[in-house]
Amino acid sequence: MRYFAKLQGQKEAVPVDIESLGGTRYKLTLNERTYTVDALTLDHGAVSMLVDGTSYHVEFEENGDEVGVLVRGQVARVDVADERRLRLRAGSAAFSVEGKQVINAPMPGKVVKVLVKVGDEVKEGQGLVVVEAMKMENELKSPKAGKVVELLAKEGTAVENNAKLVVVE
């Protein structure tokens, strides 16, 4: 199966081919390099992986198409899509969002910075709130140009997954 993965901060997604070799073994091709992976899901949800003989303990947290990956104390945010999802995104790329937009916490974490206040005019893509989750800061951005009409995020507070933080109208 072919997927496209884009690390946070990268401009282009790279193709990743995954082929089952039976059981817990897979052949993974990334950037024209092939790896043999043996992946065993542990009771608590983490995955123990042997990649070409090197052992890794990996934890994943999915949020839609985005996956938080914790390996060796480092967190990476990866946007993952198959070919169908990529085509659907491309087909809807020209449309802009309308109406009230609610910005929710992408995962449990802590609000470390609030970048706007109620009544502020914001541009599409402008940072609204910074949430720290899995030892990584994530800036949540406005999906549209508009006005901040509701602000529930408060610096220093813990938030649950999908907690309502900001409303832009």
- Reading the block at residue 104, the tokens are 């929710």
pTM for the model: 0.51
CATH numbers and ranges of domains, the chain: 2-87 (3.30.700.30), 96-168 (2.40.50.100)
Query: pLDDT per residue over 102-157, tens digit each?
Result: 998 888 899 999 999 999 999 988 999 999 887 788 889 998 899 999 999 999 99
Q: Among 19, 16, 23, which Cα is nearest to 39's?
A: 23
Question: CB–CB of 37/49 below 8 Å?
Answer: yes
pLDDT in tens, 58-100: 998 887 778 888 998 888 888 888 878 777 766 655 455 678 8
Tokens of 83: 């070919």
- Name the residue among 59, 150, 51, 134 with its Cα closest to residue 100: 150
Phi-psi region of 149 (alpha: psi -120 to 50; beta: other; left: phi over 0): alpha
